[in-house]
Amino acid sequence: MRRDKVVLTEKHIGVLQRVTIGVALLALAAVAFSGLRLLSSNMQLRDLTERVSAQKKTLSGLRQALKKPRKPIDPDQAKIDAIARVQGYMERSCRQNGCQLGEFQAGLERGPYLSVFTLDTNKPGWEQVQVHVTLNGPAAGALHTIEGLKNSGVPVEPDSIEIVRGDVKIDKVMVSARVVFRVLIMSGGAS
């Protein structure tokens, strides 16, 4: 048997080069995609690890707090303390965010805690006081102050936020924000 010589023309070589480049690019894309997925998985794992660590610290702190004896607290004093802490936090946060606290008005009456976020409204031991706040200043500062309520150290539940645009300046928009929220107070103890 005789074999014929295979003759590669420039056309054949060009096709082979394009196919080789295409396969190489496809392999490179697959490696890059796999690398991105691995990076994403590592970031998610790190985030979950940090969350678990933070929750363990919180749990440890709660266990320590449970070991300490608690003295009975006057319910009216608990309300005053909780409201004062929220007001103090709002005043500091306003200063930090370039806003002014135009109004801080807490209700005089305490009522049973009724959440608008759950159907189970029977939360024995918790009461609520409604608070009305008016913030004046840059939109970003007002929003940061409102968002920061979660860091006040007192449980609050928002009812409404109304933001009205004021002056528009070159570098910022001034607003007046009226916020209504409820401060939650433990009936027989600190909030």
**Is the residue at 119 inside a domain?**
yes
- Give me the residues paired with residue 168 across strands: 173
Q: Clarify whether residues 109 and 58 are in a common domain.
A: no
**Which one-letter amino acid corresponds to residue 93?**
S
pLDDT at 120: 61
**In the chain, how many domains are there?**
2
pLDDT at 169: 79
E strands in 80-172: 100-106, 111-112, 126-138, 156-168
Q: Clarify whether residues 30 and 82 are in a common domain.
A: no
Q: Clarify whether residues 83 and 158 are in a common domain.
A: yes
Angle at 119 between CA 87 and CA 179, to 5 degrees: 25
Domain boundary among 68, 92, 110: 68
Prediction pTM value: 0.54
pLDDT at 153: 86
Q: Clarify whether residues 28 and 101 are in a common domain.
A: no
Enter the DSSP assignment of 4.
P
pLDDT at 134: 94
Its domain, for residue 44, covers: 1-68
pLDDT at 30: 92
Domain containing residue 151: CATH number: 3.30.70.60
CA nearest neighbour of 104 among 184, 178, 190: 178
CA nearest neighbour of 156 among 181, 177, 135: 181
pLDDT at 191: 45
pLDDT at 190: 43
pLDDT at 121: 57
Q: Clarify whether residues 37 and 82 are in a common domain.
A: no
Q: Clarify whether residues 120 and 49 are in a common domain.
A: no
pLDDT at 189: 45
pLDDT at 95: 93
Chain mean position to CA 69: 33
Residue 150 CA to residue 185 CA, distance in Å, equals 15
pLDDT at 76: 61
> For the chain, which ranges sit under pLDDT 70?
1-3, 70-79, 115-124, 188-191
**Is the residue at 191 inside a domain?**
no
Cβ atoms of 107 and 129 within 8 Å: the answer is yes
**Is the residue at 108 inside a domain?**
yes
Concatenated DSSP letters of 44-112 = HHHHHHHHHHHHHHHHHHHHHHHHS------HHHHHHHHHHHHHHHHHHHHHHHT-EEEEEEE-S--EE
Residue 15 CA to residue 28 CA, distance in Å, equals 20
Cβ atoms of 176 and 102 within 8 Å: the answer is yes
Q: Clarify whether residues 15 and 81 are in a common domain.
A: no
Tens-digit pLDDT profile for residues 42-81? 999 999 999 888 888 888 888 887 787 765 555 566 667 8
